[in-house]
Amino acid sequence: MSTDHASSFVPADPWPLPRDATVADHIVQRLACWGVRRYFGYPGDGINGMTSALQRTCEQAQFIQVRHEETAGFAASGHVKYGGGPIGAVLVTSGPGAIHALNGLYDAKLDHQPVVALVGHTALTAEGGGYYQEVDLLALYKDVAAAFLAQLDHPSQVGHLVDRACRTALARRTVTALVLPLDVQDLAAMPHPPHAHGYYHTSSVPSSATTVPPAADLRHAAEVLGSGERVAMLVGQGALGAENEVREIAHRLGAGVSTALLGFTVVDHREPWVTGAIGLLGTRPSWQLMKECDRLLIVGSNMPYSEFYPPPGQARAVQIDHDGTQLGLRYPTEVNLTGDAAPTLRALLAELGPGPGPTRWRQTIAGATAAWRQSQRELAEQNADPVNPQLLFASLSERLPDDVMLAVDCGTTTAWYARHLKVRPGMLASLSGTLLSMGGAMPYALAAKFAHPDRPLVALIGDGAMQMNGVNELITVAKYWQGWADPRFVILVLNNRDLAFVSWEQRSSEGTPMFADSQQLPDIAYHRWAEVLGLRGTLVDHPDQVCDAWDEALHADRPTVINALVDPAELMMPPHFTAEQARKTAAAVLRGDTDWAGILRRGLPTAVATYRPRRR
């Protein structure tokens, strides 16, 4: 990514340790040297020393109590994604707490977010004795914290273990973990180990990062890209912070730009040359962009669906990534540039000649994009039973505040977000981009709001994810919201009583009907639960209520839950629907799918709107 992590750090030794400081006090102080001032977690006796240390330093460091340790992992990942600090921190107790945190930590690992997990453990004196909550944490965390994992067994280790955990997390943009035995946490701190054999003295100063590739490689990349007539760009989260450079190079090359979901806010999705999301949930213009280009520039993206790239041999390609191990993984690129996006793009611009000016290629892109946007708006306004979920997203898009933060869950919610929300630079938005885990939106929303309590937030959640952890973490919202400068925290729940994305996958890939025992969900009055907690609740069960619901929620004096009763039969059509997928979906209907009438009712207009000939 193009953010300068070093600029987020506070000076070393941000506060002096008292004479009676414990190991836990030293850990908290040393982590503060790396910019860690906020911990997401849940208490337990395995981390009593750490929570006591945080209590003693509550003016310098903050503990956020969530309802479940999985949320802590997600929130630590979201803390970095939304700019809350250079490193996310998770603090959980031994045994069940450590186990619970894993899913959120894997989200951070797969989305390349620097997070340090602090995990309580059985006292050293009891280890190996089958003590309560004793599990092999070094084995359990071996994969998620593969870059660096260590157990702290002596006070002299604090400095070098914390430094290495933080430095590794930042350098490799991944998860690291420290296992903290209970009794060691309360030992006397040793901030200055002896200058002797077997002890370490380490630095809490961050390492410099790779910035710009060699000039010869930049010239080669410029030759490849500059000789094309139909240039496509794919930008991902690695381009965050390089918004101006991406726009400049797109104009210089006369390129169309598609986006991975984690890089959505890099470009202004109102622009005619921005084709939108790529992949299974992406747009038809992005599919066409890749299928017709002769040059491809990939910036900070590792989107894994190979069928959505140009066919091999069609396009000469250049890729930019700060991590050289990620280059050339998805497409046979000709030039691989290891460097941060913003300075690398600036150096590449210096090597390119003047831009081509208006081209037929950009006119083609603009025509396809305009036709797609119009068809999607028409689709959102079609009648559904009772409410078309796409209407909620199209209506929100028109009302997005310039400084809004968006937290998106996985499922059909992701598809409607990708196709209808015209986000733009200045906004913040994210989701579980690689793990694709349900239940990420509410923890992300909490992390975003703690990072920027003066900005409005909208969380977009399906009823499956809301039932997983959303209803519980709404208690966390109720606990903290009155301390936020801007109280707007809007939660849209798409209530269709169906794990709809799974149901459609089952139909299109397996050819089997929706399995009610597996996919149907209880109908919950989410808005009433919000009211019980002292928040606002709104029920939307008619399309005429949609606009007012958004207007009221975005101007409310407290968090709001919009319980939207939406049509489970609304189809999420991929940008390229194969004959095999169509055959299997038809087979599911013929085999007695319980929603066969809805499939027929919504399927034809959706297919027509998605695949009708584009305007040139």
DSSP codes of every residue in 510-536: I-----HHHHB-----HHHHHHHTTSE
Amino acid at 158: V
Q: In this structure, are residues 606 and 379 in contact, taking their beta carbons and an 8 Å threshold?
A: yes
296 contacts 309 by C-beta, under 8 angstroms: yes
Long-range contacts formed by 6-10: CB under 8 A, 24+ apart: 6/206, 6/208, 8/35, 8/85, 8/86, 9/33, 9/34, 9/35, 9/86, 9/206, 10/35, 10/37
Has residue 116 been placed in a domain?
yes
Q: What average pLDDT does the chain have?
A: 91
Residue 486's alpha-carbon distances to 264, 444, 448, 535, 558, in angstroms, are 24, 17, 12, 14, 9
Share of the chain above pLDDT 90, in %: 80
Predicted pLDDT at 572: 75
Q: Percentage of the chain surpassing pLDDT 70?
A: 89
Residue 196 lies in a domain: no
Residue 8 lies in a domain: no
d(CA 254, CA 358): 7
Question: Are 386 and 362 contained in the same domain?
Answer: no
Residue of 102 and 517 predicted with greater confidence: 102
| The one-letter amino acid at 530 | A
pLDDT band (50, 70, 90) for residue 28: very high
Per the CB < 8 A criterion, the answer to whether 117 and 43 are in contact is: no
Identify whether residues 499 and 415 lie together within a single domain: yes
What are the pLDDT digits (tens) for 525-581?
999 999 999 999 999 999 999 999 999 999 999 999 999 999 988 877 777 655 555
Report the CATH number that the domain containing residue 171 is assigned in CATH: 3.40.50.970
Q: Helix, strand, or coil here: 299?
A: strand
Question: What confidence tens digit (pLDDT) does each residue in 569-587 have?
Answer: 887 777 765 555 555 555 5
- Residue 211 has a pLDDT of 83
* Banded pLDDT at 11 (limits 50, 70, 90): very low
Judged against a pLDDT cut of 70, whether residue 508 lies above it is answered with no
In a domain, 207, yes or no: no
Residues 325 and 418 in one domain: no
Residues 454 and 506 in one domain: yes
Asked whether residue 334 is domain-assigned, the answer is yes
C-beta neighbour count of 539 within 10 angstroms? 17
Task: Return the pLDDT at 549.
Answer: 98
Task: Please check whether residue 178 is in contact with residue 26, taking contact to mean a CB–CB distance below 8 angstroms.
Answer: no
Residues, the chain: 616
Residues 582 and 435 in one domain: yes
What is the SS3 assignment for 479-495?
Answer: HHHHHCCCCCEEEEEEE
Burial of 555 (0-12, 13-18, 19+ CB in 10 A): exposed
DSSP 156: G
Q: Which of 366, 398, 424 is the last residue of a domain?
A: 366
Mean pLDDT of 599-606: 56
Domain that holds residue 165: 23-186
- Write the CATH number for 267: 3.40.50.1220
343-372 pLDDT, tens digit per residue, is: 999 999 999 988 777 789 999 999 999 999
Residue 12 lies in a domain: no
Same domain, yes or no: 348 and 444: no
Rounded distance, CA 219 to CA 477, Å?
52
Longest dimension (CA), the chain: 78
Q: Which of 337, 366, 395 is the last residue of a domain?
A: 366
- The continuous run of DSSP H or E covering 235 comes out as strand 231-235
- Tell me the pLDDT band of 501, cut-offs 50, 70 and 90: confident
User: Are residues 358 and 225 located together in one domain of the fold?
Assistant: yes
What would the mean pLDDT of 434-455 be, rounded to a whole number?
A: 97
Task: Please report the pLDDT score of residue 111 as a whole number.
Answer: 97
The mean per-residue pLDDT over the stretch 369-382 comes to: 93
452 and 566 part of one domain: yes
Distance, in Å, from the CA atom of 447 to the CA atom of 444, rounded to the nearest integer, reads 5
Residue 429 lies in a domain: yes
* Residue 379 confidence (pLDDT) above 70: yes
Do 346 and 395 belong together in one domain?
A: no
Confidence of residue 510 (pLDDT cuts 50, 70, 90): low
Q: How far apart are CA 562 and CA 525, in angstroms?
A: 10
User: What pLDDT sits at residue 393?
Assistant: 98
Amino acid at 577: F
Say whether both 362 and 402 belong to one domain.
Answer: no
- 10 in any annotated domain: no
Given this model, what pLDDT does residue 459 score? 98
Domain end residue (candidates: 366, 392, 420):
366
CA 337, 340, 343 angle in degrees (round to 5)? Answer: 95
Q: Which residue has the tokens 């982590």?
A: 31
Distance in angstroms between the alpha carbons of the first and the last residue of the chain: 36
Residue-level pLDDT at 615: 46
Same domain, 51 and 93: yes
Buried b (16+ CB within 10 A) or exposed e, 139-149: ebbeebbebbb
My answer on whether 328 and 237 are in the same domain is yes
Indicate the pTM of the whole model: 0.92
Q: Are 296 and 331 in contact (CB under 8 A)?
A: yes
Phi, psi of 566 (to 5 degrees): -115, 165
Count structural domains, the chain. Answer: 3
What average pLDDT does range 111-136 have in this prediction?
Answer: 94
Residue 124 pLDDT:
92
Give residue 520's pLDDT.
Answer: 87
Per-residue confidence (pLDDT) for residue 9, from 0 to 100: 46
Q: What is the mean pLDDT of the segment spanning 49-60? A: 95
State CA 467 to chain mean position distance. Answer: 20
